[in-house]
Chain A
Amino acid sequence: MIDKGYISGSTRLLVLNVLQEKACHGYEIIKVLKLRSNDVFDMKEGTLYPILHKLENDEYIISKNEMVNGRMRKVYHITDKGVKVLAEDKAQWKEFSSAVNQVIAFGG
């Protein structure tokens, strides 16, 4: 199990990245995150919703009520603003992680 601090700091990046590929409802997002991270991102699932609602307040994503498998679901779509911020977040993350990698390479 990975430290929660690493996950929460990068949730925006992770969620927007999932939504850039495909509009999803909350449960789908969780499933994709778990699958892609080999269950490392086993976050408490309910905590996703405050994050989604805040992202929606910030207009990075927009929710629409859509029928999915015969049920009305709140499906989240990424906005143009969201795509832009995702690119920025990704660049920052790459810079940060490569710097961390360089530093810890010396500890070996």
Chain B
Amino acid sequence: MNKHEFLETVKKQVLYIFDRQDIVYELSEHIDDSARDMMEEGLSYDEALDIAIKQMGNPVEIGKELNKAHHPFIGYTFLISKIIIILNIIPMFLCVGMLGFDTINFVLPVSTRGGEDVVEIKETIELPTERFFIDKVCVKDDTYYLTYRSINNITYTRTTYGMRPFLIVDELGQSIERSSNSHGGWICDIGFREFEMPDDKILYLKFIDHQIITLDLTEYGYE
């Protein structure tokens, strides 16, 4: 029996395959050590290796005993529970992380994106499923923008629309928006709408359920 055969025979007895490699490595190192010592005493490599393997004993018996120490049931149960825990932890961290991130987003004052406050509005608008918080109008580089947050009333998840939830229009119903930007996670969306300031300082927010909210900025203190 050569070294490879010996190790393979031991290996086959160990049913928990994930420990096989470590076992084979440990036994292989032992055989090498043993053979090396005998070569120092004057034996040839082949003789030394042959004796070293014989001194190891019966590979089937050794393998069976090792299998008891590396019991497949315990081994696999441990492995499976480890996998399940890891699979659960990843989404858990993602959810908790997003929840935390959104809560912070929602509680902290809305960023002005480097602009200056023009007027605070602080209006809440209820739609059948969503609630909008119209926060304020800011200005930066002569560009006016409206900031708002939105939350889904039913699921308390973010309000994901295929279309825009509302549009800023003038009295004729024409859009006065220039661009928009919104971001959010699972709970709330935070949005910005750039618009052309109308001469009369009145904004009309046209929501997707055709509700139109009139915001006369002068009423909120805009001059």
Contact = CB atoms under 8 A, between A and B. Distances in A.
Chain B, interface residues (CB within 8 Å), range:
20 to 34
Contact of B62 (A46, A54, A57): A46
A101 to B, nearest CB: 31
Interface residues of A, number: 17
Chain A interface secondary structure, helix, strand, loop or mixed?
Answer: helix
A46 B57 contact: yes
Contact of B34 (A25, A45, A47): A45
B65 A50 contact: yes
B58 interface: yes
A44 B62 CA distance: 10
B61 A47 contact: yes
Contacts of B117: none
A34 B218 CA distance: 99
18 contacts: A25-B29, A27-B34, A44-B55, A45-B30, A46-B27, A46-B58, A47-B57, A47-B61, A47-B62, A47-B65, A49-B23, A50-B66, A53-B66, A54-B68, A54-B69, A57-B69, A71-B29, A74-B22
Interface of A: 25-27, 30, 44-47, 49-50, 53-54, 56-57, 71, 73-74
